[in-house]
Structure 1
């Protein structure tokens, strides 16, 4: 027969676990699920700050090499389908999970929220995600300069050519403000999830199911152009000297994704870090991100 103390300890442990929903991570371009210097460090930090919590880092592929490569060359729509299957197969997530996407993982997780509502996503945290795309490829992450030079050549060749769109991830969120009509017609990923062609009511319905959308912008970002995209801002058409912020965009004013509704309900949090892309301290992460993961 169990002692009273044993039962109390068991109940306290159960309450602690149930009080911290699972957390799922999605890495950015040039990274992998399990890099000990990036998401491996974040995973350890999360487990220290959320004792007993379940933390998973998505691996898109059968191994780390494939995962890294797929971040460059696996069609983004196929990655979303792949990730959706992983999430559905993980029984630890059946009651809901918090999502943290780093760089392009931010807009990929948003696509998950819109297209794959089960298991339920609780809070969506986008750290440096490019939600209005990019128009520039100024810096390469890590030791991937050879790959990045190849990507630059493909983007110069024609980001909106069918072959490039279907086989180069970065082209799938390439947003040329001088070719808005071509972008809307040719973009197989970003234009779709941003409702810039056919309106999909389900995308809006599903995104409104999340509790909060937390958007982190890096004020000294040397990788994302423009860095305002991390807060859903982007260049005015044919004018790269002017940024249209989220609240002045048609995406917001027409409430195509429910962002206006969420904002009016104080469910969009605009955070900033006065640093370069994905450069933040443990203290910044603990102070700014951990509070959204505790219930």
Structure 2
């Protein structure tokens, strides 16, 4: 009996220590890069990863690599079907033992709407905070300039101008999959294979909304001098009023909000949407701004 009591006490001590360690561990962070970038570029995602690790001691940061190499990762940001990318990442997250208790997600540029799709489609492991840094949540209607390989960028422009909703282009060109033509909303809704789906514009998937409402916080960063994203209001769920490409509406005037298709109104009514602005061009923020507005508020 004494031996059993000692053994029980020992297990209790181990459980207490494990619990204390778990409670003291920082929440892991998953980051997803933007177009023309890669998981491990030392000047972009590599720098962000090091900064978070420096500011949040002992944090686990996973920068998503879409493919089996940096080169493949970069090309897949242009040419791998987004739905296939989402499936790939869902499996990566589900198989990562360090993420099973939950994680914070930071998406940069198109990585913002891609991680939102993860939140909607893949609730396990749980995403706690979703931070979209310049993500285009209502899509884009224009590609004014592009980072990375200028030849690829020019080719992408030509393909989008040729026919973003042509099946071959829509299924193989990433940027076509969040191309949103306000001059022809019907065609967009019928032929968009990614954005129209996650924005509940074809059919309403209640699971998408349910999963979005599991977020503790949705953080939307808009770049006030953005020359990359057209329109930049998309970064705050705004877009062009249908039928033209000059007049804009805000998230609060969008059916996505007024009809609460995504849970945006519910999130906002419960104080879980944060709108942040950087008075700079696309993804051009300082370390100080990132630490003060993102790290200190949502990652610690």
Structure 1-normalised TM-score? 0.94
Q: Which residue of 2 aligns with 1:206?
A: 211
Distance 1:225 1:15 in 2: 46
Q: Which residue of 1 aligns with 2:182?
A: 177
Q: 2:44 matched to 1:41? A: no
Distance 2:115 2:271 in 1: 20
Written as runs of structure 1 = structure 2, the 5 A alignment for 1:156-171 is 156-171=161-176
Instruction: Specify which of 268, 279, 298 is matched with residue 263 of structure 1.
Output: 268
Q: 2:133 matched to 1:122? A: no
Distance 2:91 2:21 in 1: 29
TM superposition shift of 1:19: 4.0
TM superposition shift of 1:140: 1.1
Structure 2-normalised TM-score? 0.92
Q: Which residue of 1 aligns with 2:201?
A: 196
Q: 2:287 matched to 1:254? A: no
Distance 1:55 1:17 in 2: 18
Distance 1:54 1:16 in 2: 13
- Asked if 1 retains the 8 angstrom alpha-carbon contact of 2:25 and 2:58, the reply is no
Written as runs of structure 1 = structure 2, the 5 A alignment for 1:128-167 is 128-142=134-148, 144-167=149-172
Runs (4+) off by over 4 Å:
14-17
TM superposition shift of 1:239: 2.3
Unaligned runs of 5+ in 2: 1-16
TM superposition shift of 1:265: 0.5
Q: Which residue of 2 aligns with 1:98?
A: 104
Say what the alpha-carbon RMSD is for the aligned residues.
1.5
- Asked if 2 retains the 8 angstrom alpha-carbon contact of 1:135 and 1:175, the reply is yes
Distance 1:170 1:18 in 2: 41
Written as runs of structure 1 = structure 2, the 5 A alignment for 1:49-88 is 49-88=55-94
* CA deviations over 1:88-119 (Å, ceiling 9, x no partner): 01000000000000000000000000000000
Aligned residue-pair number: 283
- Asked if 2 retains the 8 angstrom alpha-carbon contact of 1:26 and 1:58, the reply is yes
Distance 1:287 1:85 in 2: 32
Greater Rg over alpha carbons, structure: 2
TM superposition shift of 1:16: 8.7
TM superposition shift of 1:157: 1.2
